[in-house]
Each structure stands twice: as structure tokens, then as C-alpha cells.
Amino acid sequence: MASNYRQLTTNEIAQLTNSGCSSDDWTKISVRDAFHPERIQRTHFSGNIKIGVFQKEITFAGGVVKPSGIRDAIIHNCIIGNDVYIHKVNNYLANYEIEDNVIIENVDLLTLTGETAFGNGTSLAVVIEGGGRELLIYDHLSAQVAYILTFYRHQPAVIRKLEAEIRQYADSISATVGRIGRGSKIINCCSIKNVKIGPAATLENVEFLENGSINSVSEAPIYIGPGVIAKDFIVNSGSTVSSSAILSGCFVGQNCVLDKQFTATHSAFFSNCEGSQGEASSILAGPYTVTHHESTILIASYYSFYNAGSGTNQSNHRYKLGPMHQGILERGVKTASASYLVWPTLVGAFSVVLGRHDANFDSGDLPFSYLVEGEKETVLVPAVNLRSIGTFRDANKWVKRDGRTDPNRQDYIIFDLFNPFIIQKIQNGQKILKILVQSDPDSGDYVNYQNLKIRKDWLMKGQQLYEMAIIIYFGNCLIKRLSAFQPQNVTALKNCLLPETTVGKGRWCDLAGLIAPHERIEELLHEIAQNKLSGLDQLTASFQQIYQNYSTFEWKWGSDALQTYFNKNWNEISVTDLINFLEDWKKSLTELTELQLSDAQKEFSEPSQISFGIDGSAETRQLDFRQVRGTFEEERFINDLKASVADQLKTGEQIIQSLKSLR
């Protein structure tokens, strides 16, 4: 804010008094030159007050124009910027620095009641409702830091260090005066206490806010809408909380939407999450966690890229030692309507849960599966979701639906459907299915695996689908590498296949969206524990470095895995080996795409036309369906998929021809 304030003149005090204004002490009010006393009416001041210049006209919705200034308010201990519009503060406005061009109209109470950290340092009991995985929130919390704080409790030195730094940050921003950022609007709101508000935010018809941060920025404004009640919270840039949502002890990351009477307690939501109508309690919602239904309850669990069907329900309580159980749904899981899960349970990535499941199970090493309600046990159909068009549509849409416009993105997200973490899971699944094929031949139609039943006739099918995915992934890696280097001879070919780094070998993990080598995460945490890495900013920078080097680290893992796949090192792998492998890649990519297109075609089959053309003949039904849904040949995503695969196959064929020229 501008400096160079002066005290009021005798004439200005007289003008203010004549306009119905009063003050406990006029000498505690200072103003800028070009101050317009006629722009202030029927207002009482107390404490230390600074007032800017009011010159502009403010245009409201519907084209109504009003002059900037202050009318009908009680204001205590505030700094008020230029061209601010304040009208009808029914109780009082106290202890705020109000930046330029802010609008405050028809507000009951807007105040700081003492020193506050604005929600920073609040402890959330995530994932385990009864406690044990407490997450301290702060303005710059990322999904990756939250993941470490939540799931690396086995490294107490790291947790203590990070929590101490979060508390230190909370102390550093604690204040007795709040801030309302430039261009913000606070209209028709009831009670707002101990809340800081960033630039360009809109608060409209809000019911109650207490102890929170609304970290809006001009590039990504925040909207807090009608009926919202929130306490002990942080909302970050680009997000919307509206339509009577109720938050108690919550962190809301960038570009999230929580609305339509959604309620959440002790929960953290990260980039692009959506919550409507349902309930969340003690959840850690990684990027793209979505729940849209009134009857859905998410409790004591961790998700990312998750979609909850209507009536999804989860139980974390055995009525013995309290709510101490947790659930893990790995990246890309969907729960169908009326699904039910009992914690502790772990559902493998990109799986679909259908029906009621009363037993605990771990399907983490069998991703892309269907988990179906059986008579007494859960039936697992392995790998079947690989041939679903919906899986690949989801992977495609997540990238396009990243609505973050803040130039400072807090969460680091790898969107690749196939990546080292997923392929390692698939490789594990393939080994499990091979072992189960050799199990007791007299066990009937099913084999058992960790409280799961798998039909024997799906053991080979699952292996085949997993093999397709493995070949496609390694083929993609190889083509990407050769396209980048374009080797002109065998020596150059061998050299380009060598990785540039030693980082990436071994196990990989998914840190709430960031796919990373486990060894690098362990090194990072060791640096924190040994005080070699200090500060939350350095930790965030380390995650950024991992994100930026993902492709380099990925090739190290892919290079090692390909040599294992060939059972040869790069010196022994011939050009012919690579050509033959890429021919297998073409075949696998084509076959899996055909399975997906066949799955998509079901959406245009005769059963899908039921309920269309309700007053006509079979021909009317077909015509109505075509007008509403279009045809398989016209479907945009289908055509995009075909074009993408055609481009991949073309690039692959070009690589094959270039390899043949080397041979």
C-alpha cells in the first residue's frame, strides 16, 4: 500500500461529521492527499485508521454503478486502500488491511479476534480417523509433502523435522491484523473471523468462516459461495467452495470444487478434486479424486485419480478399539454404485469395485482388475480393465481437465497411464497369475489369493493382457528414446540406449500423483533427517527436480527392465532383437486397441438404444439414438484414439525401418 499519509484537516472532520460520521479519536485517522471526505457517510471509526483515495466508480452485476467510498459501517483499526467500496457493515469491520479496489457490501462481521495463523498449523486426522497419521497443513502444502507426512510415520525423525518447520512457518505468518487482497469482493456475508483473503477472491452469501486462509491469486481467483460454513481451513488458488458446503479442519488444494452441500472433516484435497453432496471424513484425496453423489461416504482412506459411484460406502470401525482402520485405493480406482468396502483393504491401481465386500483383501499387485461381489468372498477378474475404453478415456481426460492457472503449481503430477510404478505392479501380477496356474488342479473353478477368488479360466487371459501392457510400455519407451537420438550406426545405437543416470533402478512409488524412484525418495528423506536438506522450500524444490527429471529416471528403469526382458545386456542385444520386439509392440498395441474399440462399440449396440424413440417404431428408436448419441464412427474420442494409435504405429514403423538400415 502507498505511504505518505497525513492527519485529517478541521474542514474534513467537519464534513465527515455532517455526513453522519463519528470517531473515538479523530487524531488516530490519517488519509492520503486528494482524500474525498464526501465519499464517506454514516460511518464510525475507532482505533488506528488509514484511508486511501476514493475516485473511481464501481460497476456491479447488472450494470449498476456506485462510487467508491465508505457508507454505513463501523470500522476499527484498519488500513483501507484506494478506491475501496465498503457499504453496510452491520456489526463491525476490525483489524484488517484492505488493499486497493476491494468491495465489501452487506457484511455482518469481518474481524480478527487476536493473534492467528489463519488455519496454518492445524492438525488433521487423515486416513486413520482415530489418529496416528496427523497432517499439519500450511499454505504451500503439496500432495507430495502430505503423502510423506501421512505415510512415512516409520521415519519419525523426518516427520518431527517437517512438522517443526510447518509450525515455524505458521508462527512466521501469525498476525493480529489480517489482509484482504487487491480486487477481492465480500458481498452479503454473515460472519468472517480470523481469515486472510488473497487478491481477486469472491466471497458471496457466505454463512460462517473462521480461522482460515483463502489463498487466491489474480491468475486463479477463489470463489467462496452461498451458505458455506468453514472452520480451521486453507483453500488454495483457483478453487470453488460453494452451495452450502461445510468444512471442518480441511485443506483444499488448487482448482478444486467442493459444493452442493458437501461436508468434509479432517480431510485434505489436492489438485482438481471435486466433491458434491456426499461426505468425507479423514481422507487424503490425491489429485482428481471425485465424488458427486449425496449418498456417498468416503472415510479413513487415501485415493488419487479416483471416482466414487453413487452410494459408495466404507467402514473403518469394528466396534472394538475404535475407528483405527484405513483403506488404500491406488491411482485410478473406481467404485461402482452401492459399493461397500471394509477397512483395512488395499485396491490395486485402475481397478473397479462392484458390490459389497465384507472381507479385507490386498489386490495391489493385480491392477486393472474387476472386484466383484461373490457369495461370501470377493471375486477378482484380473487385468480385464485394460481392455476397457473407459480406462483410456480417463487417462486422456485428466490431462485436458487440469484447470490450474496459477503459475505456481503446488502438486507435481505424472499423467502417464503406463509408468514404472504401474508396470512393476503389472509384472508382479503376471508372476502371481503364473504361480496360481500351477496351483492345486482339484480346487474347483476358482483359486484363492489373499481373501480373493479368481476363476481359473481367467488366469491365462489375465497374463496375456498384462503381457500386452508390458510390451506396449517398453515399446513406447524404446521408440521415444530412438526418436530422440536417431542413431546413424550401430555404435551410436548402443550408446543412445545407455541411461544418463544411475537414478531410477529398483522399485518405484506413486506419491499422490508424482511417479518417482523409491531410492530417490529415501535419499531425500535421509537428507532431511540428517539436516542436510533444510526448509520446506528445499523439499518442494527436490520434488520439482524429481518431476523434471522423470523421463531421465524412467529410461534408467526402462533400460534395466528391457535388458531383463531380453535376458541380455545392451552389448548382447542385436538390432534384429530390437526389430522383432517392436514388431511384437505393433501387434500388442493393435490387439489391445481393437479390444478397447470393441468395448466402445457396445455403447452403440442395440441394448444401448433401449429407452430411445419411446413413442415410435424400431426405426424411430434408431433415428432418435443417432440424433442424440451419434454413431460409433462419429464419436470424437474414438476417432482421437484411432488417430493417436495410427500415429504411434507410423512412428514405430519408421523406427523399425531405420533399424533395418543399420542392420
Pairing of strands 452-455, 446-449: antiparallel
Cis peptide before 344 (omega within 30 of 0): yes
Q: Are residues 128 and 9 in the same domain?
A: no
- Residue 317 domain-assigned? no
Query: Do residues 117 and 231 share a domain?
Result: yes
DSSP annotation of 530 reads T
pLDDT in tens, 280-333: 999 999 999 999 998 899 999 999 999 999 999 998 876 666 678 999 999 999
**Residue whose C-alpha cell reads 488404500 in the numeric block:** 328
Please list, residue by residue across 592-613, b when 16 or more beta carbons sit within 10 angstroms of its beta carbon and e when fewer do. bbebbbeebeeebeeeebeebb
**What does the pLDDT read at residue 535?**
78
Q: In the listed set 273, 294, 318, which residue is the last one of a domain according to the structure?
A: 273
pLDDT digits (tens, 9 = 90+) for 234-275: 999 999 999 999 999 999 999 999 999 999 999 999 999 999
pLDDT of 626 strictly over 80: yes
**Residue with the three cell numbers 470424437:** 636
- The DSSP symbol for 310 reads T
Same domain, 54 and 175: no
Nearest residue to 308 (alpha-carbon basis) of 283, 271, 326? 283
94 plus 135 within the same structural domain: no
Sign of the Cα pseudo-torsion (629, 633, 639, 641, in order): positive
Which residues span the domain enclosing 31?
1-99
Q: Beta partners for 135?
A: 124
Taking each helix axis as running N to C, give the angle between helix 575-601 and helix 389-400, from 0 to 180 degrees, rounded to the nearest 10: 100
Partner residues linked to 257 by β-bridges: 240, 274
DSSP 129-171: TTSSSEEE--TT--HHHHHHHHH-TT-HHHHHHHHHHHHHHHH
Instruction: Answer yes or no: do 263 and 126 share one domain.
Output: yes
Are both 139 and 250 inside the same structural domain? yes
Do 192 and 92 share a structural domain?
Answer: no
Q: For residue 132, give the C-alpha cell.
A: 496416528
- Tens of pLDDT along 140-156? 999 999 999 999 999 99
Same domain, 47 and 123: no
Q: Which of 49, 65, 99 is the last residue of a domain?
A: 99
In a domain, 437, yes or no: no
**Cβ proximity of 328 and 134 under 8 Å:** no
Claim to verify: residue 21 and residue 49 sit in the same structural domain: yes
Question: What type of residue is 549?
Answer: N
For residue range 471-509, what is the model confidence (pLDDT) as tens digits? 999 999 999 999 999 999 999 999 999 999 999 999 999
> Whole-angstrom Cα distance, residue 67 to residue 506?
66
Q: Does the residue 627 lie in any domain?
A: yes
- Claim to verify: residue 63 and residue 163 sit in the same structural domain: no
Domain-located, residue 172 = yes
Query: What is the value of pTM for the model shown?
Result: 0.96
Residue 603 lies in a domain: yes
| Domain boundary pick from 246, 273, 300 | 273
Banded pLDDT at 2 (limits 50, 70, 90):
very low
Residues 237 and 129 in one domain: yes
Q: Does 441 map to a domain? A: no
Give residue-wise pLDDT tens across range 421-462: 999 999 999 999 999 998 867 768 899 998 999 999 999 999
* pLDDT band at residue 1 using 50, 70 and 90 as cut-offs: very low
- Same structural domain, 178 and 30: no
What's the number of domains the chain is made of?
A: 3
| pLDDT value at 533 more than 90 | no
349 in any annotated domain? no
3-state secondary structure 27-47: HHEEECCCCCHHHEEEEEEEC
Residue 380 maps to a domain: no
C-beta separation of 481 from 492 below 8 A: no
Distance CA 455, CA 366 (A): 14
